[in-house]
Amino acid sequence: MITKAVEIFKNSKSLFVLTGAGISAESGIPTFRGVDGLWKNYSATDLATPQAFQKNPVLVWEWYHWRQGIISKAEPNPAHYALVALEKKMARFLLLTQNVDNLHPRAGSENVLELHGNIFRTRCLACGEIADYQKPPETSSNALPKCTCGGLLRPDVVWFGEAIPQHIWQNSLDFLSRADAALICGTSGIVWPAAAIPEIAQHSNTKTIEINLEPTSVSSIVDVSIQGKAGEVLPKIVAALGQ
Ligand code: OAD
Protein backbone atom coordinates (compact mmCIF):
# COMPACT_ATOMS: atom_id res chain seq x y z
CA MET A 1 0.00 0.00 0.00
CA ILE A 2 2.87 2.39 0.79
CA THR A 3 4.32 1.63 -2.66
CA LYS A 4 1.01 2.61 -4.28
CA ALA A 5 0.92 5.85 -2.30
CA VAL A 6 4.51 6.66 -3.27
CA GLU A 7 3.61 6.13 -6.92
CA ILE A 8 0.72 8.59 -6.62
CA PHE A 9 2.89 11.22 -4.91
CA LYS A 10 5.61 10.76 -7.57
CA ASN A 11 3.05 11.56 -10.26
CA SER A 12 1.62 14.57 -8.42
CA LYS A 13 2.59 18.22 -8.64
CA SER A 14 -0.28 19.46 -6.54
CA LEU A 15 -1.17 17.94 -3.16
CA PHE A 16 -4.07 18.62 -0.81
CA VAL A 17 -3.75 17.30 2.76
CA LEU A 18 -6.47 16.98 5.41
CA THR A 19 -5.37 16.18 8.95
CA GLY A 20 -7.20 15.38 12.18
CA ALA A 21 -6.39 14.67 15.81
CA GLY A 22 -4.66 11.37 14.96
CA ILE A 23 -1.64 13.15 13.46
CA SER A 24 -0.95 14.76 16.85
CA ALA A 25 -1.62 11.59 18.88
CA GLU A 26 2.08 10.63 18.78
CA SER A 27 2.88 14.08 20.22
CA GLY A 28 0.89 13.03 23.30
CA ILE A 29 -2.29 15.01 22.55
CA PRO A 30 -5.44 12.97 23.20
CA THR A 31 -7.74 12.43 20.20
CA PHE A 32 -11.46 13.20 20.52
CA ARG A 33 -12.96 9.79 19.94
CA GLY A 34 -10.21 7.43 21.06
CA VAL A 35 -10.07 5.53 24.34
CA ASP A 36 -8.41 8.57 25.94
CA GLY A 37 -11.02 10.95 24.47
CA LEU A 38 -12.89 11.54 27.72
CA TRP A 39 -12.08 14.29 30.22
CA LYS A 40 -13.70 13.98 33.69
CA ASN A 41 -16.30 11.75 32.00
CA TYR A 42 -17.22 14.46 29.49
CA SER A 43 -16.77 13.88 25.78
CA ALA A 44 -15.78 16.59 23.29
CA THR A 45 -19.36 16.71 22.04
CA ASP A 46 -20.54 17.60 25.59
CA LEU A 47 -18.07 20.46 25.93
CA ALA A 48 -17.34 21.87 22.48
CA THR A 49 -20.73 23.51 21.95
CA PRO A 50 -22.09 27.05 22.36
CA GLN A 51 -24.78 25.60 24.64
CA ALA A 52 -22.19 24.04 26.98
CA PHE A 53 -20.34 27.37 27.15
CA GLN A 54 -23.53 29.30 27.86
CA LYS A 55 -24.52 26.86 30.60
CA ASN A 56 -21.15 26.42 32.25
CA PRO A 57 -18.33 28.62 30.90
CA VAL A 58 -16.12 27.73 33.90
CA LEU A 59 -16.27 24.01 33.02
CA VAL A 60 -15.61 24.61 29.32
CA TRP A 61 -12.67 26.94 30.07
CA GLU A 62 -11.29 24.42 32.54
CA TRP A 63 -11.25 21.86 29.71
CA TYR A 64 -9.60 24.28 27.26
CA HIS A 65 -7.00 25.33 29.85
CA TRP A 66 -6.23 21.62 30.47
CA ARG A 67 -5.86 21.01 26.72
CA GLN A 68 -3.75 24.16 26.31
CA GLY A 69 -1.47 22.85 29.07
CA ILE A 70 -0.95 19.51 27.29
CA ILE A 71 -0.50 21.13 23.88
CA SER A 72 1.99 23.76 25.13
CA LYS A 73 4.26 20.97 26.37
CA ALA A 74 3.87 18.90 23.16
CA GLU A 75 6.29 18.91 20.24
CA PRO A 76 5.59 18.19 16.57
CA ASN A 77 6.24 14.51 15.74
CA PRO A 78 7.75 12.79 12.66
CA ALA A 79 4.37 12.91 10.88
CA HIS A 80 4.24 16.73 11.12
CA TYR A 81 7.83 16.97 9.85
CA ALA A 82 7.15 14.53 7.00
CA LEU A 83 4.37 16.85 5.80
CA VAL A 84 6.87 19.75 5.81
CA ALA A 85 9.11 17.64 3.56
CA LEU A 86 6.17 16.72 1.28
CA GLU A 87 5.26 20.41 0.92
CA LYS A 88 8.80 21.14 -0.31
CA LYS A 89 8.52 18.40 -2.95
CA MET A 90 5.26 19.71 -4.43
CA ALA A 91 4.78 22.62 -6.83
CA ARG A 92 1.44 23.34 -5.14
CA PHE A 93 0.47 22.28 -1.62
CA LEU A 94 -2.34 23.02 0.81
CA LEU A 95 -2.75 21.56 4.29
CA LEU A 96 -6.24 21.85 5.78
CA THR A 97 -6.26 20.84 9.43
CA GLN A 98 -9.12 20.23 11.83
CA ASN A 99 -6.61 20.50 14.67
CA VAL A 100 -6.45 23.58 16.86
CA ASP A 101 -3.02 22.71 18.31
CA ASN A 102 -0.77 24.83 16.06
CA LEU A 103 1.66 21.92 15.59
CA HIS A 104 1.74 22.09 11.76
CA PRO A 105 2.99 25.70 11.64
CA ARG A 106 5.35 24.95 14.54
CA ALA A 107 6.85 22.04 12.55
CA GLY A 108 7.41 24.38 9.60
CA SER A 109 4.44 23.75 7.29
CA GLU A 110 3.74 26.96 5.40
CA ASN A 111 0.51 26.71 3.48
CA VAL A 112 -1.80 25.73 6.36
CA LEU A 113 -5.49 26.52 6.82
CA GLU A 114 -7.17 25.90 10.19
CA LEU A 115 -10.75 24.75 9.69
CA HIS A 116 -11.64 24.65 13.40
CA GLY A 117 -9.67 27.66 14.66
CA ASN A 118 -6.77 27.77 17.09
CA ILE A 119 -6.72 26.98 20.80
CA PHE A 120 -4.16 29.74 21.44
CA ARG A 121 -6.57 32.50 20.36
CA THR A 122 -9.63 33.99 22.04
CA ARG A 123 -12.63 35.91 20.73
CA CYS A 124 -14.48 38.47 22.87
CA LEU A 125 -18.21 37.85 23.14
CA ALA A 126 -18.80 41.58 23.65
CA CYS A 127 -16.51 43.42 21.20
CA GLY A 128 -15.52 40.53 18.91
CA GLU A 129 -11.78 41.16 19.20
CA ILE A 130 -9.59 38.17 18.36
CA ALA A 131 -6.34 37.93 20.29
CA ASP A 132 -3.54 35.49 21.09
CA TYR A 133 -4.10 33.81 24.43
CA GLN A 134 -2.34 31.38 26.71
CA LYS A 135 -3.43 30.79 30.30
CA PRO A 136 -1.19 32.87 32.57
CA PRO A 137 0.64 30.33 34.80
CA GLU A 138 -0.55 31.90 38.05
CA THR A 139 -4.24 31.82 37.03
CA SER A 140 -6.38 29.01 38.39
CA SER A 141 -7.35 26.54 35.66
CA ASN A 142 -11.06 27.36 36.01
CA ALA A 143 -10.69 31.17 35.82
CA LEU A 144 -12.79 32.97 33.22
CA PRO A 145 -10.60 35.02 30.84
CA LYS A 146 -11.86 38.57 30.26
CA CYS A 147 -11.24 41.06 27.45
CA THR A 148 -9.81 44.54 28.11
CA CYS A 149 -13.36 45.80 27.31
CA GLY A 150 -14.67 43.67 30.21
CA GLY A 151 -16.43 41.13 27.97
CA LEU A 152 -16.16 37.38 28.41
CA LEU A 153 -13.61 35.68 26.15
CA ARG A 154 -14.25 32.35 24.44
CA PRO A 155 -11.72 30.11 22.69
CA ASP A 156 -11.44 31.11 19.00
CA VAL A 157 -12.39 27.63 17.83
CA VAL A 158 -15.36 26.26 15.92
CA TRP A 159 -17.81 24.40 18.12
CA PHE A 160 -20.37 21.78 17.12
CA GLY A 161 -23.36 23.46 15.54
CA GLU A 162 -21.35 26.55 14.53
CA ALA A 163 -20.48 27.59 11.00
CA ILE A 164 -16.96 26.92 9.78
CA PRO A 165 -15.08 29.90 8.29
CA GLN A 166 -16.52 30.05 4.77
CA HIS A 167 -13.42 31.57 3.12
CA ILE A 168 -11.26 28.74 4.44
CA TRP A 169 -13.67 26.09 3.21
CA GLN A 170 -14.04 27.76 -0.19
CA ASN A 171 -10.25 28.13 -0.64
CA SER A 172 -9.87 24.45 0.26
CA LEU A 173 -12.48 23.35 -2.27
CA ASP A 174 -10.89 25.53 -4.98
CA PHE A 175 -7.50 23.97 -4.30
CA LEU A 176 -8.91 20.45 -4.08
CA SER A 177 -10.71 20.76 -7.42
CA ARG A 178 -7.32 21.20 -9.12
CA ALA A 179 -5.19 18.90 -6.94
CA ASP A 180 -3.56 15.76 -8.36
CA ALA A 181 -3.75 13.96 -5.01
CA ALA A 182 -5.42 14.29 -1.62
CA LEU A 183 -3.99 12.78 1.58
CA ILE A 184 -6.37 12.25 4.50
CA CYS A 185 -4.46 11.57 7.67
CA GLY A 186 -5.47 10.85 11.28
CA THR A 187 -9.13 11.78 11.09
CA SER A 188 -12.12 9.60 11.91
CA GLY A 189 -13.95 11.16 8.96
CA ILE A 190 -17.08 11.67 11.02
CA VAL A 191 -17.26 15.44 11.44
CA TRP A 192 -18.62 17.50 8.56
CA PRO A 193 -17.69 19.20 6.35
CA ALA A 194 -14.18 17.69 6.44
CA ALA A 195 -15.78 14.24 6.21
CA ALA A 196 -16.92 15.11 2.68
CA ILE A 197 -13.38 15.71 1.35
CA PRO A 198 -12.68 12.19 -0.03
CA GLU A 199 -15.91 12.15 -2.02
CA ILE A 200 -15.40 15.71 -3.30
CA ALA A 201 -11.87 14.74 -4.35
CA GLN A 202 -13.10 11.78 -6.31
CA HIS A 203 -15.53 13.95 -8.26
CA SER A 204 -12.56 15.95 -9.54
CA ASN A 205 -10.51 12.82 -10.35
CA THR A 206 -8.07 13.57 -7.54
CA LYS A 207 -6.30 10.45 -6.27
CA THR A 208 -7.06 9.84 -2.58
CA ILE A 209 -4.83 8.28 0.06
CA GLU A 210 -5.78 7.68 3.69
CA ILE A 211 -3.45 7.00 6.61
CA ASN A 212 -5.12 5.94 9.85
CA LEU A 213 -4.54 3.50 12.69
CA GLU A 214 -7.81 1.78 11.85
CA PRO A 215 -10.41 1.55 9.07
CA THR A 216 -12.73 4.58 8.95
CA SER A 217 -15.91 5.57 7.20
CA VAL A 218 -13.87 6.77 4.19
CA SER A 219 -11.52 3.76 3.87
CA SER A 220 -13.73 2.10 1.28
CA ILE A 221 -13.97 5.29 -0.81
CA VAL A 222 -10.29 6.23 -1.09
CA ASP A 223 -7.89 4.87 -3.74
CA VAL A 224 -5.29 3.80 -1.18
CA SER A 225 -5.97 3.15 2.51
CA ILE A 226 -2.91 2.58 4.71
CA GLN A 227 -3.34 1.32 8.26
CA GLY A 228 -0.60 2.42 10.60
CA LYS A 229 0.77 5.25 12.70
CA ALA A 230 1.13 8.50 10.78
CA GLY A 231 4.49 9.09 12.48
CA GLU A 232 5.81 5.85 11.00
CA VAL A 233 4.05 5.68 7.62
CA LEU A 234 4.61 9.28 6.46
CA PRO A 235 8.41 9.34 7.03
CA LYS A 236 8.63 6.04 5.08
CA ILE A 237 6.77 7.63 2.16
CA VAL A 238 9.00 10.69 2.22
CA ALA A 239 12.12 8.50 2.34
CA ALA A 240 10.87 6.47 -0.63
CA LEU A 241 10.29 9.65 -2.62
CA GLY A 242 13.96 10.53 -2.18
CA GLN A 243 15.47 13.94 -2.83
P1 OAD B 1 -11.05 11.90 16.11
O2 OAD B 1 -10.66 11.76 17.54
O3 OAD B 1 -12.50 11.76 15.76
O4 OAD B 1 -10.29 10.81 15.23
C5 OAD B 1 -8.90 10.61 15.34
C6 OAD B 1 -8.53 9.58 14.31
O7 OAD B 1 -7.11 9.44 14.33
C8 OAD B 1 -9.11 8.19 14.55
O9 OAD B 1 -9.69 7.70 13.35
C10 OAD B 1 -7.89 7.32 14.95
O11 OAD B 1 -7.98 5.99 14.48
C12 OAD B 1 -6.78 8.07 14.24
N13 OAD B 1 -5.44 7.94 14.87
C14 OAD B 1 -5.11 7.91 16.18
N15 OAD B 1 -3.79 7.84 16.35
C16 OAD B 1 -3.24 7.82 15.11
C17 OAD B 1 -1.90 7.76 14.61
N18 OAD B 1 -0.85 7.71 15.43
N19 OAD B 1 -1.73 7.78 13.27
C20 OAD B 1 -2.79 7.82 12.42
N21 OAD B 1 -4.07 7.88 12.84
C22 OAD B 1 -4.30 7.88 14.15
O23 OAD B 1 -10.45 13.28 15.60
P24 OAD B 1 -10.83 14.14 14.32
O25 OAD B 1 -11.19 13.28 13.17
O26 OAD B 1 -9.77 15.15 14.15
O27 OAD B 1 -13.96 19.25 16.34
O28 OAD B 1 -12.14 14.87 14.83
C29 OAD B 1 -12.72 15.85 14.05
C30 OAD B 1 -13.27 16.95 14.90
O31 OAD B 1 -14.15 16.41 15.89
C32 OAD B 1 -12.24 17.70 15.74
O33 OAD B 1 -11.63 18.73 15.03
C34 OAD B 1 -13.05 18.23 16.85
C35 OAD B 1 -13.77 16.94 17.18
O36 OAD B 1 -14.77 16.97 18.06
C37 OAD B 1 -14.40 20.22 17.16
O38 OAD B 1 -14.00 20.36 18.29
C39 OAD B 1 -15.40 21.11 16.50
Instruction: Output the pLDDT for position 231.
Output: 98
Instruction: Output the pLDDT for position 36.
Output: 72
Measured CA to CA, the distance from residue 47 to residue 90 in angstroms comes to 38
Q: Is the CB of 53 under 6 A from ligand 1?
A: no
What residue segments make up the domains of the chain, in order of their start? 2-28+76-116+161-241, 35-73+123-157
Q: Is the CB of 187 under 6 A from ligand 1?
A: yes
Measured CA to CA, the distance from residue 149 to residue 133 in angstroms comes to 15
Per-residue pLDDT reduced to its tens digit, 42-83: 888 889 999 999 999 999 999 999 999 999 999 999 999 999
Return all residues near 225 (Cβ < 8 A) that are at least 6 apart: 1, 209, 210, 212, 215, 219
Q: Determine the CATH number of domain 2-28+76-116+161-241.
A: 3.40.50.1220
Q: Is the CB of 208 under 6 A from ligand 1?
A: no
Residue 92 CA, ligand 1 centroid: distance in Å: 25
Fold of the domain spanning 35-73+123-157: SIR2/SIRT2 'Small Domain' (3.30.1600)
Closest Cα to atom 29 of ligand 1: 191
Residue 33 CA, ligand 1 centroid: distance in Å: 7
- Give percent of the chain above pLDDT 70: 99
| Mean pLDDT of the 98-108 span | 97
Q: Note if 116 is an active site residue.
A: yes
Residue 186 CA, ligand 1 centroid: distance in Å: 6
pLDDT(86) > 90: yes
User: Which atom of ligand 1 is least distant from the CA of 98?
Assistant: 33
| Mean pLDDT of the 113-141 span | 92
